[in-house]
A and B are shown apart, each in its own frame.
Chain A
Amino acid sequence: MVTSPLEVRELGYDYDGRSILDSVTWDLRKGEILGVLGPNGCGKTTMLRNLNRNLSPKRGCVVLAGTDLEDMAKRDIARHIAAVPQSNEIRFAFTVREMVAMGRMPFQEAFRGNSSEDERIIDEAMELTGITHMSDRLINTMSGGERQRVIIARALTQQPEILLMDEPTLHLDINMQFEVLDLVSKLSRDRGLTVVIVSHDLPMVARYCDRIILIHDRTVWAEGKPEDVLTPENMRTVFNIDARFELDDRGQRTVRLYGACPRE
């Protein structure tokens, strides 16, 4: 049996004594794209931040290839897990290339610049995300979508086994949403990158994710293939919407949204 690259065991988290997550247990399968769905405020982002010890679990643990994250240095975690946080503004005038190069930090010693190997990895990540031509632009003057691609390139330079993405499509133009997720699928397919995507965009998650975890009532409400998880009952219970999983006329998975459930 292949061990899971990342296991979440009985994870619990509170803010100021208020429980956000409780007894969350699931494991990641190598090479898959896992979607984490749930309404706003359900603790999706909190859970994601526990996966690379941006937050430390209050109860339970997260295990990376057999080692509890609590027993690892932050730097070692960053060599295996990269993250693309929710897009927010960056005030400092770093150039795009300087930003992308920061992904090499976990591998570099103090006072050392980029090695030629680092430069090659940076070039490749910028090529993959299509930002090579923006190399000298300043990050604080860029749009949300452009910034998002820069941060994804930065995450790729960490050469992670696992990529965590928090609402990756939130500020993107509609065509960019597809481009970003197509890129992620391609990396997953070609290089065995394992991806966790937190989102509330049901059709996108249905289309791109191999497996879905539905977070409700502080824990895992349902888990499985998109068609098994995104049932009308589940979507009514969790999101209070009238919606249906289906294959569109080109055979791609999607979620048809009819509207909010009538108030009872």
Chain B
Amino acid sequence: MRNDSAGRRITRIGLTAIVLIAVTLVFVLLDLAWAGTRILSLGEVWSALMGDGTWANDIIVNHRNAPRIIAAIVIGAGLAVTGCVMQAVFRNPLATPYILGLSSGASLGSAFAIMLVPASMMALAQPVLAFAMCLLTTFLVYTVSRSGGTMVRTETLVLAGVAISSLFSAVVSFLTYVAPSDKMQNIVFWTMGSLGGVGYEELTVVLPIVIIGIVLMLTQCRNLNAMMIGDSHAMDLGVDVRKVRIALLIVSSFVVAACVAFVGTIGFVGLVIPHILRMVMGPDNRLIMPMSVIGGAAFLLISDWVAHIVAPYYGVLPIGVVTALVGGPFFIYLLCRRKREVGW
């Protein structure tokens, strides 16, 4: 009896993986082929990739689309895995990669750059400030939580995150309000997220941080399973809960900071991808976290495609808008018809 259902489960997991990988590949091609006014043929994309396409196609495929697609894959994966980790660490279904207020920190850093730094330095200053403010926010949240006593409770961390987040958001709102209209647009656009500005140079910074971070987080799958049952269960099973939690908060802060620094805050990926996967294959992080890598990547690739396909009507949409527009209804649909009781 066990073998039968275990077998079915493996089949379902295998199928999900295959579907996700297929979707990823299809949308990599679709996104590579986007050329603004027209769609390149498969042959044109191929020859451009091989280095013998036309000059225009080379620019479009290799220098516009390819870095953006790589960014979508890596950032989607990074945010989705971080979402898994945060939901498990905080045992909170609403936890996102930004739960400690990182998005507001990054937005504030970026807004500072837009307001205060001369235009010539912006390309450097904006990501650096966004990145630094992300890490500073984590540090602040942790320090505030710690001041009450020696034990840091996860509930306190979440509350401190909310508090600091609303404070920073208020400052961003203030800056947006007083900013001249061109700068105001920049600030607002940044908070919606956009993959458009990513080139190969940016990727050399983002890629190593996110990939190392993901690998480090993946080593903790089993410990996270135990922590989902409860901190005291995890301790009984030999997990040094406090150490693991702090290490994961630090690693995930770096990953989130690297993800948002160049592209702005992209919401929804980190929240829904882990939930969707849990509905399909149960709560085991040893499956959910590696699958989130593919799921997050596929999701951002689809969103990127949607953002571009509507371009003739609205211009290229900020990807953060699309993730919520695409993901929201799908998530609601799954919530309504889920079969396996997942606990949340």
Contact = CB atoms under 8 A, between A and B. Distances in A.
A102 interface: yes
12 contacts: A52-B235, A75-B240, A78-B237, A91-B91, A91-B344, A93-B283, A94-B284, A105-B237, A110-B221, A111-B218, A138-B341, A140-B343
B204 interface: no
Nearest to B344: A91
B31 to A, nearest CB: 32
Given A92-B229, A140-B343, A54 B238 contact: no
Contacts of B240: 73-75
Contacts of B153: none
A60 B305 CA distance: 63
A167 interface: no
Interface SS of B by simple majority: loop
Interface stretch (A79-87, A216-224, A228-236): A79-87
B12 interface: no
Interface string A93-105: 1110111001101
B63 interface: no
B343 A92 contact: yes
Given A92-B228, A102-B225, A105-B226, A78 B233 contact: no
A175 interface: no
B226 A93 contact: no
Contacts of A105: 222-223, 226, 237-239
Interface string A141-158: 100000000000001001
Interface in B10-27: none
A16 interface: yes
Contacts of B220: 110
A88 B230 contact: yes
Interface string B268-299: 00000000000000111000000000000000
B341 A93 contact: yes
B201 interface: no
A18 B240 CA distance: 26
Interface residues on A, range: 35 or more
B236 A78 contact: yes
Contact of A94 (B218, B222, B237, B282): B282
B119 interface: no
B149 interface: yes
A90 B230 CA distance: 8
Given A92-B229, A135-B2, A136-B1, A54 B235 contact: yes
A93 B149 CA distance: 34
Contact of A77 (B1, B221, B238, B342): B238
A260 to B, nearest CB: 33
Contacts of B236: 52, 54, 78, 82-83, 85, 155
Interface of B: 1-2, 5-6, 91, 149, 218-223, 225-226, 228-230, 232-233, 235-240, 282-284, 340-344
A103 B237 contact: yes
B219 A110 contact: yes
B210 to A, nearest CB: 20
B343 A93 contact: yes
A108 interface: yes
Contacts of A91: 91, 343-344
Given A93-B282, A140-B343, A74 B235 contact: yes
Contact of A16 (B149, B229, B237): B149
B321 to A, nearest CB: 32
Contact of A75 (B225, B228, B238): B238
B83 to A, nearest CB: 16
A54 B232 CA distance: 7
- Which 6 residue pairs spanning A and B have beta carbons closest together? A78-B238, A106-B238, A75-B238, A91-B343, A83-B236, A92-B283
A54 B1 CA distance: 38
Given A75-B239, A106-B238, 16 more contacts: A49-B232, A74-B235, A74-B239, A75-B240, A77-B238, A82-B236, A91-B343, A92-B343, A93-B343, A102-B226, A105-B237, A110-B222, A135-B2, A136-B2, A140-B341, A140-B343
